[in-house]
Structure 1
């Protein structure tokens, strides 16, 4: 049996919208699958409630006709519910999401698609929620919430596909944000270089950059002693020759970490060439 290809099932409006917006080649498609388990759970809860109400009437000594009517209503409701619940879960509007080289498209049911390039996304948040029962993790629901001028949407599910689509969207948006920040830092580097040449000092949160050295905590580190200024996870590390531990500061303490790393790298390379 051939592997299932979601691109063969996806509505034509999704790739069509991507082509109109010039979002590039398709990379991944995801369809939000509606599980009937939750629908069955709600139905069974309603059924148990109705059964409890019927038992109250039976215990209270109501007439046989009343009990018979309740049995008929409960039995008929159970039969119709057993048919309606899976049908409702099956024919519920389907949510589609597709990732392209330069953006993402989302469509719910027959509503118009929501599309945007990576640089049009104004916010992206990912969440992973574990379903735990009796101390045992049953499943993990992966969700990604996207904000853009065309509209907001959320894709979630407990399948590997939901995790993959969330990673692709978050990584695509983060890559563009980093590129924009790097381009901005490069553009501002020339201005800061002229400022540093005059002997000025530029502050970046806990660090102060000057041609004389990198100041941190009241101590000025000579650029000739610094071997590396790098980003490790969510921490900026300054590796100093002869020191056992690097100087560490969280990225959150920096007003513009990308610009700081760009300036520090440029000054460090200039100091090495001057040796």
Structure 2
């Protein structure tokens, strides 16, 4: 069964009512305004190939250059498809092209039972102009594996797109009264155990000047290049001649990596706090 949002039902009922009214009143109503859908829509299909119910987590933003997860994943961009997809069910809908800049399935949920679920290994997103155009068909296919895995494929016009993932947002927040050098390093691999390989000139991220008191720095990194993010013993500058190091080194490996597509967690946030002695 295909689920259609309530506002769409009202629109269809209104259009049907207008056509019936025009037919009853005859040629004298030839000028009755009938609003037709925008041409060349973007068709989105959700296909559940599993034996379980699936919540696809579908979000659509009108802009194609959305790098802020808070803007992309929100109540305003969420698409309500009704009930979760039943086993082997397909849902489809045509969206106005002008309102379809970015399309994402945000870590779909596969419900094992009423209380347990597993999240998709990946959260593919695609943008107009880069992955699809007006009139194209986007298909998200939800697949489970014999080993118990669950992932999402994305196809455009019957061509599979691999490696589509949101960027990693890294935030550095200085909550101290001093300048802080965060010692930020980013390595593309998630299984780096050699410190010389992880902490090097090639992986060092130059943020410019040290973070001023209460300053925040943020930047987006390509998911495929952000396997491990490290703050290597950040240095608060107590005075021009005195430095001290943070209590610990923070290392964050990438999350939700699978055999199918690399996938970043949404935000890496590092905060430096001055504790009372």
TM range (shorter): under 0.3
Greater fraction of residues in helix: 1
Determine which structure has more spread, i.e. the larger CA radius of gyration: 1
Higher relative contact order (CA 8 A, sep 6+): 2
Using the size of structure 2 for normalisation, the TM-score is 0.26
